Amino acid sequence: MISGPRKYVPPVQVEIVEQRTRIALDETEGIYVRDKATGKVRAFKGQSLMLKPNEVPWEKILLPEVEELLAQGNRPRADKSRVVTYAVPHNSVVQVYDFKRKVSRVRHGPDLVMLEPDEQFSIVSLSGGDPKRPNFYTSLAMPLGPDFMNDTVIVETSDHARLKLSLSYNWRFEVDPENEEHGNMIFSVRDFVGDTCKAIASRVRGAVAARTFDDFHKNSADVIRASVFGPDANTGNERLLFSANRLAVTNVDIQSVEPVEQRTRDALQKSVQLAIEIATASQEALASHDAMCEEQIAKGKLERQRIQDEAQAEEQRKSFVELKARSSALETTGQAKGEAVARSEAALIKGRAAVRQAKLKAEALRIRSEARLSQLTLRQKQERAHQEALDLLELDKQEKQANIEATKFKQIVDAIGADTIEAIARAGPEMQARLLEGLGLQGFLVTDGTSPINLFNTASGLVQPGK
């Protein structure tokens, strides 16, 4: 084999037997491959595959029944070398048997089963219809329930009355998905529907055969449930468990009970009609008696109500006379009392008016005083604010004048210069020293004895012109 991509020019001695391409596979896909050298077949799954020179695709042959079941709802297998897959439905289980290793494996749904080369599906063939017929339903997956199944059972009572019972059973498999042994136990009984219906029908026939027709007709539900569940019937914990495949029947519903023979059916119908007539007559008599009793009770209540109404009318009439006498007495005294009350009300109103007038005058005086006080307060505040504004203006004026004088002095000093000022300061003392030296004096003081002595200005006065 020469793998690409490349360009290959075969020599004359070489023959190109086959061109192969890589087979692309998804995780849920696979292909069966056979080794021509050893004859072994393996299933390659989940990734792309390039066959080796001694490997070829191998076609897996299934049973026709399995092919039909796989094709239901899907397209038939076009490429038989592809790995056979089956999607296990929810709440179902599938068994796969390996004929080479002689072992089986069970997969619970929802799951995807991929067959190995030596594996085959275990076909589930169940009974169906009513009454049950074998091989009515065929599938690859075994349902786990809960579900129900119907059956018709012919029974015979102890007095030889044959009846047809229509029963319905609720069932489910009590298995642990993690337990492989439980899964194999489910498939240990291939037709659990038919076997369950037969077992329950046998129990029901035995229980009904020990009862008379009349007894069974009155207690049919209790008899059938007791025959199926035993002592646990009607306790809320009833359950019939088949240990072989862990199938549990949890409820039995009696849909109908009908006689098989026409004579028994007619007698039963006649008995039922007679019972209905007796019950109807009894109910009519009871209803008539109840109606008469209710009528007498109603008449007694009506008479008693009439007497009570008359007594209440007399009481109302007595009250009316008393109220009329009271109104006449009030009418005579009402006028005088009204005049006196009117005069007292007038005096009271006048007094209240005078009091209110005095209060209003005091309030007006208070308002005027408060207004005058408020006016005076506002005037003083305005005068104080005006004086403060004038003081601030004067302070600002003095500050600006001081700044102007300082600026003027600084400008003069800057204009004269520091050396000039120093020369002016030194000229006076030097001239005074020379004057005293010319006069031959060390110093002198002239005073009139009344003025204080100014030693700093004495020398200056001596040297001033005209002195």
C-alpha 204/C-alpha 120 separation (Å) is 39
E-state strands within 28-130: 30-35, 41-45, 55-57, 85-88, 92-98, 103-108, 111-114, 119-121, 124-128
Determine the residue type at 259. Answer: P
| Cis-peptide into 452, omega within 30 deg | no
Average pLDDT, the chain: 85
What pLDDT does residue 453 have?
58
Q: Are 120 and 46 in contact (CB under 8 A)?
A: no
What pLDDT does residue 190 have?
85
Lowest mean pLDDT among 163-167, 245-249, 293-297, 322-326: 322-326
447-457, pLDDT tens digit by residue?
555 666 555 55
What pLDDT does residue 412 have?
85
Determine the residue type at 261. Answer: E
292-346, pLDDT tens digit by residue?
898 889 888 888 898 988 888 888 888 888 888 888 878 777 777 888 888 888 8
Q: Which fold has domain 123-260?
A: Tetrahydropterin Synthase; Chain A (3.30.479)
C-alpha 186/C-alpha 397 separation (Å) is 119
**Residue 329 token pair:** 């007495």
| CB within 8 Å of 254: residues ≥ 6 apart | 165, 166, 167, 220, 221, 224
What pLDDT does residue 117 have?
93
- SS3 string, the chain, reads CCCCCCCCCCCCCCCCCCCCCCECCCCCCEEEEEECCCCCEEEEECCCECCCCCEEECCCCCCHHHHHHHHCCCCCCCCCCECCEEEECCCEEEEEEECCCCEEEEEECCEEEECCCCEEECCEEEEECCCCEEEEEEECCEECCCEEEEEEEEEECCCCCEEEEEEEEEEEECCCCCCHHHHHHHCCCCCHHHHHHHHHHHHHHHHHHCCCHHHHHHCHHHHHHHHHHHHHCCCCCCCEEECCCCEEEEEEEEEEEEECCHHHHHHHHHHHHHHHHHHHHHHHHHHHHHHHHHHHHHHHHHHHHHHHHHHHHHHHHHHHHHHHHHHHHHHHHHHHHHHHHHHHHHHHHHHHHHHHHHHHHHHHHHHHHHHHHHHHHHHHHHHHHHHHHHHHHHHHHHHHHHHHHHHHHHHHHHHHCHHHHHHHHHHHHHHHHHHHHHHCCCCCCCCCCCCCCCHHHHHHHHHCCCC
E-state strands within 236-302: 240-242, 247-259
Q: 236 or 96: whose pLDDT is higher? A: 96
What pLDDT does residue 237 have?
73
Is residue 228 over pLDDT 60?
yes
What pLDDT does residue 449 have?
57
Is residue 167 over pLDDT 70?
yes
Question: pTM of the prediction?
Answer: 0.54
C-alpha 136/C-alpha 132 separation (Å) is 8
CA distances from 426 to 422, 432, 460 (A): 6, 11, 13
466: pLDDT confidence band, cut at 50, 70 and 90? very low
Lowest mean pLDDT among 50-64, 195-209, 312-326, 441-455: 441-455
C-alpha 395/C-alpha 304 separation (Å) is 113
What pLDDT does residue 452 have?
61
Q: For residue 324, how far is the Cα from the chain centroid?
A: 73
The closest alpha carbon to 409, from 421, 398, 391, belongs to: 421
Is residue 94 over pLDDT 90?
yes
114-147, pLDDT tens digit by residue?
999 999 999 999 999 887 888 898 999 999 989 9
C-alpha 31/C-alpha 25 separation (Å) is 8
* Pairing, β 85-88 against β 55-57: unpaired
C-alpha 317/C-alpha 313 separation (Å) is 6
What pLDDT does residue 205 have?
92
The torsion defined by the Cα of 289, 292, 294 and 296, in degrees rounded to 10, comes to: -140
Is residue 467 over pLDDT 60?
no
How many residues comprise the chain? 467
C-alpha 278/C-alpha 289 separation (Å) is 17
462: pLDDT confidence band, cut at 50, 70 and 90? low
C-alpha 168/C-alpha 151 separation (Å) is 6
Q: Are 90 and 122 in contact (CB under 8 A)?
A: no
Is residue 159 over pLDDT 50?
yes
Q: 373 or 467: whose pLDDT is higher? A: 373
Using only the alpha carbons of the chain, give its radius of gyration: 67
247: pLDDT confidence band, cut at 50, 70 and 90? very high
C-alpha 464/C-alpha 131 separation (Å) is 164
